Structure 1
Amino acid sequence: MPSPTYITRFRDCTIDIIARQDSINWILNVHAHHRFSPLTAFLSVNYFDRFLSSHSLPRHSGSWPSKLLSVACLSLASKMGEPKVQFILDLQIFEPKFVFDPKTVQRMELRVMWILNWRLRSITPFDFLHHFVSDLSSSSSSLLSASSDLVLRTIRVIDLLGFSPSTIAGAAVLCAAGLSVDFVADGDRQGAPFFYERVNKV
């Protein structure tokens, strides 16, 4: 997770929230174009946020530093989560204004990994979805897909960075299943057997 002060820095306008939204939109567009897994998109934004939480980009150099960081984070995430690695130039679509050569992106990848202390195997909400979905539905594939979509939608919301991956996963599953936290917490175990206990054990 990013540092605890990361959200505060956005609220204080120390970090450009518009640049973050533009970067996430670009990542999601490329993710959809190449049909990457939801995990790849989530990891990309995770690396992006963790980098910015401990290292500032130049604010008076235009939008290219943020774009370079986005490309590097998506490239790293695709190497972690995809069976087939895309060429760096193939990732740079939808925004022809900035196209970085592979060596430049690779140098940025090394910088990102160094800033993140080489910790690229982040715990994400996707690590918990199967665990939670199995308690709620016999048609787990459709619920899992809907829950994954909801998790992806959360990555744009700054305030949700303060919640643990398991909490986001649990909330996404409940929402996708059409349940409320009150429904589960009130002790009704017919629709959600032992789900509440499992969420609280994580």
Structure 2
Amino acid sequence: MKLSGPLESQRLSFLLETAISREAQMWKVYVPKNPTRQDTDISPVQRDEVVRWMSSLTSKFHLYPETLALAISILDRFLAVVKARPKYLRCIAISCFFLGAKTNEEDERIPALHKLAKNSGCGCSPSEILRMERIILDKLNWDLLTATPLDFLQIFHAMLLSSWAQLLCTRPKVSPSQHVSMLTEQLQQCLSAHQLLQFRGSMLALAIITLELEKCRPDWLSVIVNMLKVCQIDSSQLVRCRELVARSLSSCDVPLPPNTVYIYQPLKQSLIPHDRPAIQDPPISTIPETGLEMATRSSGHPSGLAASCHHLAPIRYKQASTKRKVEEMEVDEFYDGIKRLYNEDSAQEGAAAETCGVTLVRQESSLSPCPPLQPVSVM
């Protein structure tokens, strides 16, 4: 039965105090291990990889997010007290995953051990998982109940909704359960980043809450003052945690392909007719665009100039080296490189045209449809 009014606030305050007390007893400062040898020490990167693998198992076996959060907590606590080899990491992770499932899931939802060993791809037999499970329980003194970051996230979210009903006004089509589910996905991404293990679970959950709260209210800090006092969190530490969380979430976005080319299409300009006949080029639509032509279009020059430059051998030679560098250049540097390319080749344009047997039609600068090229100013 759902409580309402003061009773609900008292219940949430009691749950928060209990979780904070439990966290204070179990949490230890994370000390990253720099592996001396690849085959003897588990690196932080390997830890993050196995956490993402455990997250995929949660979706595969349709288990609760609480199970994953507890399994990651058991894994981190075990790796903090035991020096294990990387070849045993999958066995340790699947054992922690099995312990989390048996602790949080209903009996009918707990996957059978032989199916878990077979379908997870851990490379361990059921007997090996049971032996590792016993080792983990012995090292953790058979105490698996701890306050996970997901517990704090759910408590903070319920406290905000109970005291500030306008939290979801900016998202009218999102229900409270859908909103907390979205925040849970963000938390799972943060749990796979070892850089955030230096913060307690309460601070990590509060940082995710405040990042979402900032979208609704600019004075988000005044809304969570009471939570900061109860959790004994310094506001400066919270701001630092928020920065790392925002960086971790932004790095999970899908990046653009490395060879992405942005093409700017300028307004159509009519070329001035000339008396001397020039070599007629094939239709532009039938010529495959090269990197130089794309760059010329993006810099605002007419496509006709790019088509004429297509016949110049020296320019095509420099085109290959320029194309390799475009992938690593920023947008501003990209345009500057194209300008430098034209400035360098302006002196050799006549010699290149005579070599290829091509006479370029030159117009006066005042009648040219192309804007005058300016020297690049050094910042």
Which segment is superposed worse, 117-126 or 138-147? 138-147
AA matched with 2:116? L
CA 1:17–1:130 in 2, change beyond 3 Å: closer, same or farther?
closer
Higher relative contact order (CA 8 A, sep 6+): 1
Q: Deviations over 1:16-43 (max 9, x none)?
A: 2232123112211111111211111111
Name 2:74's counterpart in structure 1: 47
1:53-98 deviation line (CA, Å, top 9, x unaligned): 1111135xxx3x11110110100011111112111232236664x5
1 CA distance for matches of 2:225 and 2:215? 12
2:187 aligns to what? 151
Distance 2:27 2:34 in 1: 12
Q: Which has the larger radius of gyration?
A: 2
Deviation digits for residues 142-189 of structure 1 (CA, Å, limit 9, x no counterpart): 32112211111111111211212211111122223444997322x3xx
Structure 2 Cα separation of the partners of residues 35 and 70 of structure 1 = 17
TM-score by length of 2: 0.45
Match of residue 197, structure 1, among 221, 226, 231: 226
Provide structure 1 residue ranges, at least 5 long, that are not aligned to the other structure: none
Aligned length: 189
| Structure 1 letter corresponding to 2:145 | R
Aligned to 2:176: 140
Give the corresponding residue for 1:78.
101
Letter in 2 for 1:53: A
**Residues 153-162 or 17-26, more deviating:** 17-26
- Counterpart of 2:90 in structure 1: which amino acid? K
Match of 1:90 in 2: 115
CA RMSD in angstroms, aligned pairs only: 2.6
Answer whether contact 1:143 1:177 (CA < 8 A) is retained: no
Distance between the aligned counterparts of 1:155 and 1:181, measured in 2?
26
Q: 1:11 to 1:196 in 2, by over 3 A?
A: farther
* CA distance in structure 1 between the partners assigned to 2:92 and 2:149 by the alignment: 23
- Structure 2 distance, partners of 1:46, 1:27, is 12
Counterpart secondary structure, 1:112: helix
CA distance in 2, matches of 1:120, 1:161: 18
Structure 2 CA distance for aligned equivalents of residues 104 and 11 of structure 1: 25
1:57 maps to which residue? 84
C-alpha distance 177-163 of structure 1, shift in aligned 2 (>3 A): same
Structure 2: segments with no counterpart, 5+ residues: 1-25, 162-166, 169-174, 232-379
Deviates more, 1:107-116 or 1:158-167: 158-167
Change (3 A) 1:55 1:76: same
Please give the TM-score of this superposition, normalised by the length of structure 1: 0.80
CA distance in 1, matches of 2:73, 2:152: 16
Please say which of residues 79-88 and 134-143 is displaced more in the overlay: 134-143
**2:139 pairs with 1:115:** yes
Moved more, 173-182 or 126-135: 173-182
1:171 to 2:239 alignment = no
